[in-house]
Structure 1
Amino acid sequence: MSTPTPRPLDEVAIRASFARYRFASFAEGIALLVLVSIMVMRYGVYHGEGLFTSTSHTWETISQTWSPIHGVIYMVYVVLSFDLWMRMRWSLPRMLLLMLFGVVPVLSFFGERWTHQKMESDLRQRPTLQDEEHPRR
Protein backbone atom coordinates (compact mmCIF):
# COMPACT_ATOMS: atom_id res chain seq x y z
CA MET A 1 0.00 0.00 0.00
CA SER A 2 1.51 3.34 -1.02
CA THR A 3 1.50 6.53 0.98
CA PRO A 4 -1.09 9.01 -0.31
CA THR A 5 0.39 12.02 -2.06
CA PRO A 6 -0.45 15.27 -0.26
CA ARG A 7 -2.69 17.70 -2.09
CA PRO A 8 -0.56 20.35 -3.76
CA LEU A 9 -0.58 23.87 -2.37
CA ASP A 10 -1.66 26.84 -4.49
CA GLU A 11 1.49 28.96 -4.39
CA VAL A 12 -0.10 31.97 -6.09
CA ALA A 13 -2.99 32.09 -3.60
CA ILE A 14 -0.57 31.55 -0.70
CA ARG A 15 1.68 34.41 -1.76
CA ALA A 16 -1.34 36.72 -2.12
CA SER A 17 -2.57 35.62 1.31
CA PHE A 18 0.87 36.22 2.80
CA ALA A 19 0.99 39.74 1.32
CA ARG A 20 -2.28 40.54 3.10
CA TYR A 21 -1.00 38.92 6.30
CA ARG A 22 2.25 40.93 6.09
CA PHE A 23 0.35 44.21 5.81
CA ALA A 24 -1.92 43.25 8.72
CA SER A 25 1.07 42.16 10.79
CA PHE A 26 2.77 45.54 10.43
CA ALA A 27 -0.50 47.42 11.01
CA GLU A 28 -1.17 45.37 14.16
CA GLY A 29 2.38 45.90 15.43
CA ILE A 30 2.12 49.66 15.00
CA ALA A 31 -1.42 49.79 16.44
CA LEU A 32 -0.34 47.79 19.49
CA LEU A 33 2.67 50.06 20.08
CA VAL A 34 0.37 53.09 19.88
CA LEU A 35 -2.05 51.46 22.34
CA VAL A 36 0.75 50.63 24.79
CA SER A 37 2.05 54.21 24.54
CA ILE A 38 -1.43 55.56 25.24
CA MET A 39 -1.79 53.25 28.24
CA VAL A 40 1.59 54.35 29.62
CA MET A 41 0.57 57.98 29.29
CA ARG A 42 -2.88 57.37 30.75
CA TYR A 43 -1.96 55.16 33.71
CA GLY A 44 1.71 55.86 34.25
CA VAL A 45 2.42 59.49 33.53
CA TYR A 46 -0.91 61.29 34.00
CA HIS A 47 -2.73 59.00 36.42
CA GLY A 48 -4.42 60.39 39.50
CA GLU A 49 -5.50 63.75 40.78
CA GLY A 50 -3.65 66.99 41.06
CA LEU A 51 -1.72 69.05 38.57
CA PHE A 52 -2.43 66.87 35.50
CA THR A 53 -6.18 66.25 35.99
CA SER A 54 -7.26 67.82 32.66
CA THR A 55 -4.42 66.06 30.82
CA SER A 56 -5.44 62.75 32.45
CA HIS A 57 -8.96 63.23 31.06
CA THR A 58 -7.48 63.85 27.60
CA TRP A 59 -5.54 60.56 27.69
CA GLU A 60 -8.67 58.76 28.90
CA THR A 61 -10.55 60.09 25.87
CA ILE A 62 -7.71 59.13 23.52
CA SER A 63 -7.63 55.66 25.08
CA GLN A 64 -11.38 55.20 24.70
CA THR A 65 -11.11 56.18 21.05
CA TRP A 66 -8.04 54.14 20.11
CA SER A 67 -8.85 50.91 21.95
CA PRO A 68 -11.77 49.89 19.68
CA ILE A 69 -9.76 50.87 16.59
CA HIS A 70 -6.96 48.62 17.75
CA GLY A 71 -9.49 45.85 18.42
CA VAL A 72 -10.73 46.01 14.83
CA ILE A 73 -7.16 45.95 13.50
CA TYR A 74 -6.40 42.88 15.63
CA MET A 75 -9.55 41.11 14.38
CA VAL A 76 -8.49 41.77 10.77
CA TYR A 77 -5.05 40.41 11.67
CA VAL A 78 -6.64 37.26 13.13
CA VAL A 79 -8.78 36.68 10.02
CA LEU A 80 -5.82 37.14 7.67
CA SER A 81 -3.62 34.90 9.85
CA PHE A 82 -6.33 32.25 9.72
CA ASP A 83 -6.52 32.57 5.93
CA LEU A 84 -2.76 32.03 5.56
CA TRP A 85 -2.85 29.16 8.05
CA MET A 86 -5.63 27.41 6.14
CA ARG A 87 -3.94 27.83 2.77
CA MET A 88 -0.63 26.50 4.10
CA ARG A 89 -2.38 23.64 5.94
CA TRP A 90 -0.24 24.17 9.01
CA SER A 91 -0.84 22.54 12.40
CA LEU A 92 -3.00 24.08 15.15
CA PRO A 93 0.00 25.11 17.31
CA ARG A 94 1.25 27.20 14.36
CA MET A 95 -2.12 28.99 14.27
CA LEU A 96 -1.91 29.74 17.98
CA LEU A 97 1.60 31.09 17.46
CA LEU A 98 0.37 33.39 14.69
CA MET A 99 -2.29 34.71 17.09
CA LEU A 100 0.32 35.25 19.83
CA PHE A 101 2.44 37.35 17.46
CA GLY A 102 -0.31 39.97 17.44
CA VAL A 103 -0.70 40.14 21.22
CA VAL A 104 2.84 40.91 22.43
CA PRO A 105 4.17 44.38 21.53
CA VAL A 106 6.85 44.31 18.80
CA LEU A 107 6.53 40.52 18.37
CA SER A 108 4.40 40.89 15.24
CA PHE A 109 7.39 42.35 13.38
CA PHE A 110 9.61 39.38 14.26
CA GLY A 111 6.73 36.94 13.81
CA GLU A 112 6.14 38.19 10.28
CA ARG A 113 9.76 37.46 9.35
CA TRP A 114 9.60 34.01 10.96
CA THR A 115 6.32 33.21 9.21
CA HIS A 116 7.79 34.32 5.88
CA GLN A 117 10.77 31.99 6.34
CA LYS A 118 8.51 29.06 7.28
CA MET A 119 6.23 29.72 4.33
CA GLU A 120 9.15 29.86 1.86
CA SER A 121 10.64 26.69 3.33
CA ASP A 122 7.34 24.84 3.08
CA LEU A 123 6.75 26.02 -0.48
CA ARG A 124 10.18 24.66 -1.48
CA GLN A 125 9.59 21.29 0.19
CA ARG A 126 5.91 20.62 -0.53
CA PRO A 127 4.28 20.12 -3.93
CA THR A 128 2.44 23.08 -5.44
CA LEU A 129 0.02 23.47 -8.32
CA GLN A 130 2.62 25.58 -10.09
CA ASP A 131 5.31 22.87 -10.06
CA GLU A 132 4.19 21.56 -13.45
CA GLU A 133 4.31 25.05 -14.95
CA HIS A 134 7.66 26.06 -13.44
CA PRO A 135 9.79 23.09 -12.33
CA ARG A 136 11.95 23.71 -9.27
CA ARG A 137 15.69 24.02 -9.70
Structure 2
Amino acid sequence: MPAPRPLDEVQVRTSFARFRVASIVEGCALLVLCAIMIMRYLVYGGTSHTWEQVSSVWSPIHGLIYMVYVILGFDLWLKMRWALPRMLLLMLFGVVPVLSFFGERWTHESVERELARRPTLQDGER
Protein backbone atom coordinates (compact mmCIF):
# COMPACT_ATOMS: atom_id res chain seq x y z
CA MET A 1 0.00 0.00 0.00
CA PRO A 2 1.52 3.34 -1.02
CA ALA A 3 2.10 6.05 1.57
CA PRO A 4 -0.64 8.71 1.64
CA ARG A 5 0.07 11.92 -0.21
CA PRO A 6 1.21 14.61 2.19
CA LEU A 7 -1.14 17.47 3.01
CA ASP A 8 -0.16 21.06 2.32
CA GLU A 9 -0.39 22.48 5.84
CA VAL A 10 -0.35 26.10 4.65
CA GLN A 11 -3.28 25.51 2.30
CA VAL A 12 -5.16 23.54 4.93
CA ARG A 13 -4.73 26.24 7.59
CA THR A 14 -5.73 28.98 5.13
CA SER A 15 -8.78 27.01 4.04
CA PHE A 16 -9.74 26.32 7.65
CA ALA A 17 -9.38 30.01 8.59
CA ARG A 18 -11.88 30.90 5.85
CA PHE A 19 -14.19 28.08 6.93
CA ARG A 20 -13.98 29.23 10.55
CA VAL A 21 -15.15 32.74 9.65
CA ALA A 22 -17.90 31.31 7.45
CA SER A 23 -19.05 29.04 10.30
CA ILE A 24 -19.40 31.95 12.69
CA VAL A 25 -21.13 34.18 10.13
CA GLU A 26 -23.48 31.34 9.10
CA GLY A 27 -24.29 30.58 12.73
CA CYS A 28 -25.17 34.23 13.41
CA ALA A 29 -27.15 34.53 10.16
CA LEU A 30 -29.15 31.41 11.00
CA LEU A 31 -29.92 32.73 14.48
CA VAL A 32 -31.14 36.01 12.96
CA LEU A 33 -33.30 34.04 10.52
CA CYS A 34 -34.76 32.00 13.39
CA ALA A 35 -35.52 35.18 15.34
CA ILE A 36 -37.26 36.66 12.30
CA MET A 37 -39.34 33.50 11.83
CA ILE A 38 -40.29 33.47 15.51
CA MET A 39 -41.41 37.10 15.30
CA ARG A 40 -43.26 36.51 12.04
CA TYR A 41 -45.09 33.29 12.87
CA LEU A 42 -45.19 32.86 16.65
CA VAL A 43 -45.42 36.41 17.93
CA TYR A 44 -47.55 37.91 15.14
CA GLY A 45 -49.14 34.73 13.80
CA GLY A 46 -48.08 35.40 10.22
CA THR A 47 -50.18 38.57 9.98
CA SER A 48 -47.44 41.20 10.30
CA HIS A 49 -46.59 42.83 7.00
CA THR A 50 -43.38 44.24 8.51
CA TRP A 51 -42.00 40.85 9.54
CA GLU A 52 -43.07 39.40 6.20
CA GLN A 53 -40.95 42.04 4.46
CA VAL A 54 -38.00 41.50 6.82
CA SER A 55 -38.24 37.78 6.16
CA SER A 56 -38.38 38.26 2.39
CA VAL A 57 -35.21 40.37 2.52
CA TRP A 58 -33.21 38.28 5.02
CA SER A 59 -34.03 34.81 3.70
CA PRO A 60 -32.13 35.21 0.38
CA ILE A 61 -29.23 36.88 2.21
CA HIS A 62 -29.04 33.91 4.56
CA GLY A 63 -29.23 31.56 1.57
CA LEU A 64 -26.25 33.29 -0.02
CA ILE A 65 -24.29 33.12 3.24
CA TYR A 66 -25.06 29.40 3.49
CA MET A 67 -23.89 28.82 -0.09
CA VAL A 68 -20.57 30.53 0.70
CA TYR A 69 -20.33 28.35 3.81
CA VAL A 70 -20.92 25.22 1.69
CA ILE A 71 -18.26 26.23 -0.84
CA LEU A 72 -15.70 26.93 1.88
CA GLY A 73 -16.59 23.67 3.64
CA PHE A 74 -16.11 21.84 0.36
CA ASP A 75 -12.73 23.52 -0.11
CA LEU A 76 -11.59 22.41 3.36
CA TRP A 77 -12.93 18.91 2.74
CA LEU A 78 -10.92 18.66 -0.48
CA LYS A 79 -7.72 19.97 1.11
CA MET A 80 -8.01 17.52 4.03
CA ARG A 81 -8.98 14.61 1.74
CA TRP A 82 -11.70 13.49 4.11
CA ALA A 83 -14.36 10.87 3.32
CA LEU A 84 -17.80 11.88 2.01
CA PRO A 85 -19.62 11.51 5.37
CA ARG A 86 -17.39 14.27 6.80
CA MET A 87 -18.50 16.59 3.98
CA LEU A 88 -22.14 15.85 4.76
CA LEU A 89 -21.49 16.54 8.43
CA LEU A 90 -19.90 19.91 7.59
CA MET A 91 -23.02 20.82 5.62
CA LEU A 92 -25.29 19.73 8.48
CA PHE A 93 -23.43 22.03 10.87
CA GLY A 94 -24.73 25.02 8.88
CA VAL A 95 -28.36 23.89 8.88
CA VAL A 96 -29.12 23.39 12.57
CA PRO A 97 -29.19 26.60 14.67
CA VAL A 98 -26.15 26.98 16.96
CA LEU A 99 -24.58 23.73 15.65
CA SER A 100 -22.18 25.65 13.39
CA PHE A 101 -20.45 27.07 16.48
CA PHE A 102 -19.90 23.61 17.96
CA GLY A 103 -19.09 22.18 14.53
CA GLU A 104 -16.41 24.80 14.01
CA ARG A 105 -14.71 23.80 17.29
CA TRP A 106 -14.97 20.11 16.47
CA THR A 107 -13.59 20.71 12.94
CA HIS A 108 -10.73 22.78 14.37
CA GLU A 109 -9.78 19.95 16.71
CA SER A 110 -10.03 17.43 13.85
CA VAL A 111 -7.83 19.53 11.56
CA GLU A 112 -5.20 20.03 14.26
CA ARG A 113 -5.22 16.35 15.20
CA GLU A 114 -4.88 15.23 11.58
CA LEU A 115 -2.17 17.75 10.76
CA ALA A 116 -0.17 16.37 13.67
CA ARG A 117 -0.79 12.76 12.62
CA ARG A 118 -0.61 12.86 8.83
CA PRO A 119 2.45 13.80 6.75
CA THR A 120 2.61 17.34 5.40
CA LEU A 121 4.72 19.05 2.76
CA GLN A 122 6.16 21.26 5.49
CA ASP A 123 7.47 18.39 7.67
CA GLY A 124 10.99 18.78 6.30
CA GLU A 125 11.09 22.46 7.30
CA ARG A 126 10.70 21.71 11.03
Which letter maps to 1:75? M
* Whole-angstrom CA distance in 2 between matches of 1:126 and 1:40: 45
Partner of 1:98: 90
Which letter maps to 2:84? L
* Whole-angstrom CA distance in 2 between matches of 1:28 and 1:38: 15
- The runs of at least 4 aligned residues of structure 1 exceeding 2 Å deviation read none
Partner of 1:82: 74
1:24 paired with 2:16, answer: no
Which letter maps to 1:39? M
Share of identical aligned residues, percent?
73
Q: Count residues with an aligned counterpart.
A: 126
* Pairing partner for 2:101 from 97, 104, 109: 109
Q: Answer with 1 or 2: which has the greater Rg.
A: 1
Which letter maps to 2:97? P
Correspondence list, 1:50-89, <5 A: 56-89=48-81
* Pairing partner for 1:14 from 12, 15, 18: 12
User: Which sections of structure 2, spanning at least 5 residues, go unmatched?
Assistant: none
User: Which sections of structure 1, spanning at least 5 residues, go unmatched?
Assistant: none
Give the secondary structure class of the aligned counterpart of 2:54. Answer: helix
Which letter maps to 2:56? Q
Which letter maps to 1:21? F
Which letter maps to 2:70? V
Deviations 1:6-41 (CA, angstroms, capped at 9, x unpaired): 100000000000000000000000000000000000
Deviations 1:62-82 (CA, angstroms, capped at 9, x unpaired): 000000000000000000000
Please report how far the alpha carbon of residue 47 of structure 1 lies from its aligned counterpart in structure 2 after TM superposition: 1.4
* Whole-angstrom CA distance in 1 between matches of 2:85 and 2:26: 21
Deviations 1:47-93 (CA, angstroms, capped at 9, x unpaired): 15xxxx5xx10000000000000000000000000000000000100
